[in-house]
Amino acid sequence: MLDKPIEEVMNHSDRDIVIPADVVATVNENNNLQHVFLVLTKIKYSKIPVLDVDNHFKGLISLSMITDQMLVDEGLDTDRLGNILVKDIMQTDVHTIYEKENLEVILRYLVDENFLPYVDKDDHFLGIITRREILQEVNFLTHNFDKYFHAEPNEISTK
Ligand code: AMP
């Protein structure tokens, strides 16, 4: 469990930690890899969410997953990409977040991932929560703790 004072101070920050779906670059699960390779090459992100036609979150696709499909004995074969769909190779074992207030879970998952998909109870994609946004919250916490709580050293901190 998060220490209560820490959680309370973070709740005083007015920033929304979610980057909304309409500004997140995504691809459709039925796109072929040639299309997605071009998308990922043009934007600055190496891994992005995959959705279905009804905006459900389905998985993640990255540049390295695609280049892996290009590898053949003689080197690289880019022609293969037109025949493979995103849904055939995307990562599906992804932790998603249903409650953006659950900082404890978000912090635990963000240790291993750069970002987490934020979805509703029917898995409709609502946006992402990134390490950067959470670090902004930590920044707020470290500069505002004293405004809300008075901390005194205990035995451990004086040793
Ligand atoms: P950041 O913490 O801002 O570096 O973002 C971490 C990761 O989240 C990036 O490397 C991308 O994989 C993903 N990401 C962040 N913003 C976007 C966006 N607008 N569209 C798609 N993916 C994003």
CATH code at 22?
A: 3.10.580.10
Domain count, the chain: 1
Specify if 156 maps to a domain: no
**Distance separating alpha carbons of residues 129 and 110, to the nearest angstrom:** 9
Pocket test for ligand 1, best of 114, 129, 132, 138 (most atoms within 8 A of CB): 114
Specify if 157 maps to a domain: no
Is 24's C-beta closer than 6 angstroms to any atom of ligand 1? yes
pTM of full prediction above 0.95: no
Is 39's C-beta closer than 6 angstroms to any atom of ligand 1? no
Specify if 33 maps to a domain: yes
Type of residue at 3 = D
Residue 89 is predicted with a pLDDT of 98
User: How would you write the pLDDT of the chain (159 residues) with one tens digit per residue?
Assistant: 888 999 889 888 888 999 999 999 999 999 999 999 999 999 989 999 999 999 999 999 999 999 999 998 888 899 999 999 999 999 999 999 999 989 999 999 999 999 999 999 999 999 999 999 999 999 999 999 999 999 888 888 766
Specify if 137 maps to a domain: yes
Provide the residue range defining the domain that includes 23.
Answer: 4-150
C-beta pairs of 64-73 under 8 Å, 24+ apart in sequence: 65/89, 65/90, 65/91, 66/33, 66/36, 66/37, 66/40, 69/33
Kindly give the distance from the C-alpha atom of residue 115 to the centroid of ligand 1, in angstroms, as a whole number.
7
Reference 114, options 43, 47, 18; nearest CA is 47
